[in-house]
């Protein structure tokens, strides 16, 4: 079984370092912390045909809507390869159980959010069902850090965990963009994104076919056209009113890639020279910085913010998502679709529990899916507390080994 590249651990440590520093800062000097992350770097009044609201850039928005697009591109590339490449983890019938488990987890998280919120929520600004998109996302890098400790670096269950958390994160952002009540959706601007994708495919990517000349291949393997198209694609997504973090994903299918998958974040991919893998390699060090900045700008946990919304978050992530995932997997298993080779049901239980850790994408969703103030801060505290599930899973795994 292939090895996962060690840079994913570095991502996790960078994110946790940012969260730790932000939490210390916000609890010692909350005023200066919020002043820093909400400092206006740029403010422009745009024509109405571009946007109905002023264009404001703060460290908070720069990281969330701009830099995090690089991270989503990086993990989206892995999901795309799993779907379409030879030996991909989601190719053919192998896709059925992971996809069913993923969807079951989403449904379970949303149902638990709605039920628990209706029972315990006391915030005056809460409305029925508000914020249901928050618990859909998971956490790729923190989930990997825990999963590697539990399963080891080459276990098939670790690869299944990565697959589920990547899918959860992308689904969580898409759901957020579609249900955000404050979003100024102008879907026609996605035509700009489609134009960028079509132009780079026609002018460059299509020349990567094996039967064409060496000159055509060199043309297709240049990186700058895909970088330029990515910038235009991101602009189209932002102008359409969708989360900027999704802005680079539409470009992934047209970028020339390897012929077969080596696995999610496989160490072997570091030796590939197709444009998609070269772009991913270039992003490794910048993404560590991005995740540190994300933790710094979004990870400040107010230790006094615990409230009923915290319970709703933890109920959705710790109960709803794992139960939904396991029930869906059991149902498709009864229909004859087997789990990935080397993964037993008790491994799947641990995978389901780890998928209940949610920080990056759930925290991204807070400011738009929930009313601001105490409710959002209580939910942020719940997302932080969800990381405690990792300690429980490690304990369960150790007890299982001793039994």
What is the average pLDDT across 175-185?
67
Cα 316 to Cα 313: distance, rounded to the nearest angstrom: 5
Judged against a pLDDT cut of 90, whether residue 102 lies above it is answered with yes
What pLDDT is recorded for position 183? 59
Highest mean pLDDT out of 152-161, 308-317, 341-350? 308-317
State the pLDDT confidence band at 79, using cuts at 50, 70 and 90: confident
Judged against a pLDDT cut of 70, whether residue 211 lies above it is answered with no
**Residue 92 neighbours by CB distance under 10 Å:** 8
Judged against a pLDDT cut of 80, whether residue 138 lies above it is answered with yes
Distance, first Cα to last Cα, the chain: 26
Q: Is 56 helix (H, G, I), strand (E, B) or coil?
A: strand
Domains and CATH numbers, the chain: 7-173+255-402 (1.20.1530.10)
Residue of 162, 167, 59, 155 whose CA lies nearest to 103: 167
State the pLDDT confidence band at 403, using cuts at 50, 70 and 90: low
């Amino acid at each position: 079984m292939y090895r996962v590249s060690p840079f994913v651990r570095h991502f996790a440590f960078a994110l946790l370092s940012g969260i730790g520093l932000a939490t210390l800062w916000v609890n010692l000097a909350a005023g200066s912390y919020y002043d820093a992350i909400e400092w206006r770097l740029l403010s422009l009044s745009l024509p109405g045909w571009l946007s109905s609201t002023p264009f404001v850039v703060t460290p908070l928005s720069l990281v969330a809507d701009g830099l995090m697009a690089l991270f989503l591109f990086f993990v989206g590339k892995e999901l795309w390869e799993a779907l379409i490449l030879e030996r991909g983890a989601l190719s053919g019938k192998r896709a059925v159980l992971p996809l069913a488990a993923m969807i079951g987890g989403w449904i379970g998280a949303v149902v638990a959010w709605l039920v628990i919120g209706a029972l315990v929520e006391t915030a005056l600004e809460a409305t029925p069902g508000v914020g249901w998109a928050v618990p859909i996302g998971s956490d790729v890098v923190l989930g990997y850090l825990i999963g590697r400790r539990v399963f080891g670096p080459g276990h098939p269950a670790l690869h299944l965990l990565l697959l589920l958390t990547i899918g959860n994160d992308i689904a969580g952002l898409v759901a957020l963009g579609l249900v955000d009540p404050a979003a100024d959706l102008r879907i026609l601007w996605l035509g700009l994104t489609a134009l960028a994708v079509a132009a780079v495919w026609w002018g460059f990517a299509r020349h990567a076919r094996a039967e064409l000349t060496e000159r055509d291949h060199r043309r297709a393997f240049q990186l700058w056209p895909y970088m330029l198209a990515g910038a235009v694609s991101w602009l189209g997504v932002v102008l359409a009113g969708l989360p900027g973090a999704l802005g680079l994903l539409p470009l992934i299918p047209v970028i020339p890639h390897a012929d077969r998958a080596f696995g999610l974040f496989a160490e072997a991919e570091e030796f590939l020279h197709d444009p998609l893998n070269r772009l991913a390699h270039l992003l490794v060090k910048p993404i560590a910085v991005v995740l540190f900045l994300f933790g710094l700008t979004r990870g400040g946990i107010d230790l006094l913010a615990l409230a009923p919304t915290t319970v709703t978050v933890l109920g959705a992530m710790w109960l709803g998502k794992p139960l939904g995932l396991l029930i869906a997997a059991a149902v498709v298993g009864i229909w004859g679709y087997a789990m990935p080779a080397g993964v037993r049901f008790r491994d799947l239980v641990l995978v389901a529990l780890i998928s209940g850790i949610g920080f990056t994408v759930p925290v991204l969703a807070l400011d738009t899916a929930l009313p601001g103030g105490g409710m959002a801060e209580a939910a942020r505290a719940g997302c932080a507390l969800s990381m405690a599930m990792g300690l429980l899973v490690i304990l369960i795994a150790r007890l299982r080994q001793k039994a």
